[in-house]
Amino acid sequence: MSIVTDSPVWRPFTQHALQPGAFKIARAEGAWLEAEDGARFFDAISSWWVITHGHRHQAIMQAIRDETERLDQIIFAGFTHEPAEALARRLVALTPPGLDYVFYSDSGSTCVEVAIKMALGFWRNRGEARTRIVALEHGYHGDTIGTMSVGARSPFNAPYEPLLYEVSRIPFPSRGREQETLDALERACRDEPAALLVEPLILGSGGMLIYGADTLAEMQRICARYDVLFIADEVMTGFGRTGTLFACEQAGVVPDIACYAKGLTGGALPLAVTMCKREIFEAHLSPERARAFF
């Protein structure tokens, strides 16, 4: 078996004292990984839920090859390019109606950080001191400081506790406890938080915890009633993983801000987007540079 043990690579989510080696993969095709010695592995986890169309899907590979003949990377402040414009237009057409603006980033964690910043900037620019985020227990939204703050606390993020900010947590709406969740959300909304952040329908890393579309819809209605922004983290659920292209569609929900990554490129490139309604974008428009989104 081709296993690398003497490596300078510090692998993520790995206790190297317990797992000192890693299988060395030489090739990937479809659902299969092939090691240097010919051993084959069935990629049942889709390389952390990103390989939507199989490894090295030829249409995706060809599109990447074609693009490298024209552009590599350009500064995105004051400049743009047609692939970015075309993708943004396509996403606006595909996602729930009303998500009219697209902010690009490079990972699921980052696009959720962007969503939180958008929400805080929205309220600050409107002159309202709303800074608290409401989140579901057992949620996972990433591994940056902000996304760890809004996610479930655990031994894995305990070393960073001094940097994590407090959020209002409401219970997960497990079967038979849905009303408890809705009541807790209503109480939290009375304190005028900035936003509710949820993984719609399925909490992925929290244990594949599933709740109903009717509960998701009612959560959004409560937020709308109290003028609280509704943020949907569809990093995992987006692009067909729940039976519809986006999980929010099953509940008829249009979030104020939505986060997409993983399946966006079929796992071939690091890319994520945060999409928002026009009012979020327009709250950042001003002759004052300090009110821009950074």
In the prediction, which pLDDT does 152 show? 95
Kindly state the tokens that stand for 253: 């929900």
pLDDT at 294 over 90: no
Distance of CA 20 to the CA centre of its chain: 30
Kindly state the tokens that stand for 7: 């490596």
- Contacts by 177-185 with C-beta closer than 8 Å and gap 24+? 178/211, 178/212, 178/215, 181/136, 181/215, 181/219, 182/215, 182/218, 182/219, 182/222, 185/134, 185/219, 185/222, 185/223
In the prediction, which pLDDT does 250 show? 97
Q: Give the whole-number percent of the chain exceeding pLDDT 70.
A: 100
Domain with CATH 3.40.640.10 in the chain: 81-291
In the prediction, which pLDDT does 20 show? 86
| pLDDT grade for 55, boundaries at 50, 70 and 90 | very high
Select from 242, 239, 279, 241 the least CA-distant residue to 260: 239
Pick the CATH number of 81-291 from 3.40.640.10, 3.40.190.10, 3.40.50.1100, 2.60.40.420: 3.40.640.10
In the prediction, which pLDDT does 126 show? 96
In the prediction, which pLDDT does 238 show? 97
pLDDT in tens, 234-287: 999 999 999 999 999 999 999 999 999 999 999 999 999 999 999 999 999 999
Q: Give the whole-number percent of the chain exceeding pLDDT 90.
A: 94
| Spatial separation of the C-alpha atoms in residues 10 and 284, rounded to whole Å | 39
Select from 139, 129, 147, 223 the least CA-distant residue to 185: 223
**Mean of per-residue pLDDT scores for the chain:** 96
The DSSP code sequence of 172-183 is: ---TT-HHHHHH
pLDDT in tens, 156-208: 899 999 999 999 999 999 999 999 999 999 999 999 999 999 999 999 999 99
| pLDDT grade for 230, boundaries at 50, 70 and 90 | very high
Q: Which residues contact 260 (CB under 8 A, 6 or more apart)?
A: 91, 95, 111, 234, 235, 238, 239, 246, 272, 273, 274, 275
- Contacts by 70-77 with C-beta closer than 8 Å and gap 24+? 76/104
In the prediction, which pLDDT does 2 show? 79
pTM over 0.85? The answer is yes
